[in-house]
Amino acid sequence: MPTDINPAVKKIYLFAVDLEDVRFWMEDGLKYQERLPLMAEKYLAFLEEHNCKATFFVVGDVARAYPGLIRKIAENGHEVASHSNVHIQLDKQNPKIFKEEVIKSMNAYMMPE
């Protein structure tokens, strides 16, 4: 028995990737191996192989650390979305801090390489 009610209807999926480097949040975190660029490249290859697009939620500190990677994600047709500047939980922010985080995040994406 077919599982599709209407096979003419295009299947829609949602796929999102959070690009965060937890090393930035840890004391002496940078002593650990850098993995974010390698893993992001694997996601990009997978998505390319399957002709799919995704949304990459990027925190500002990652955008500042890897501007070339963020540019490549966008150039490959994926959506780049802000995950704030350093991904402070919303319940830990007031409106003033939230606004500052958004501005810092947006400025990170506009930095020249």
- Distance of alpha carbon 21 from the chain centroid: 11
Asked if residue 68 lies in contact with residue 75, where contact means CB atoms within 8 angstroms, the answer is: no
Contacts of 74 (CB under 8 A, 6+ apart): 80
Q: Is 61 helix (H, G, I), strand (E, B) or coil?
A: helix
DSSP 3-state helix, strand, coil percentages of the chain (rounded to 5)? 50, 10, 40
Given pLDDT bands bounded at 50, 70 and 90, which one contains residue 108? confident
Q: Where do the structural domains in the chain lie, given as residue ranges?
A: 16-109
pLDDT at 113 over 60: no
More confident residue, 35 or 1: 35
Q: Is 28 helix (H, G, I), strand (E, B) or coil?
A: coil
pLDDT at position 98 is 87
Write down the mean pLDDT value for the chain: 87
What is the reported pTM?
0.80
* DSSP-assigned letter for residue 74: H
State which CATH number among 1.10.760.10, 1.10.150.120, 3.20.20.370, 3.40.50.970 fits the domain covering 16-109: 3.20.20.370
For residue range 27-81, what is the model confidence (pLDDT) as tens digits? 999 999 999 999 999 999 999 999 999 999 999 999 999 999 999 999 999 999 9
pLDDT at position 1 is 45
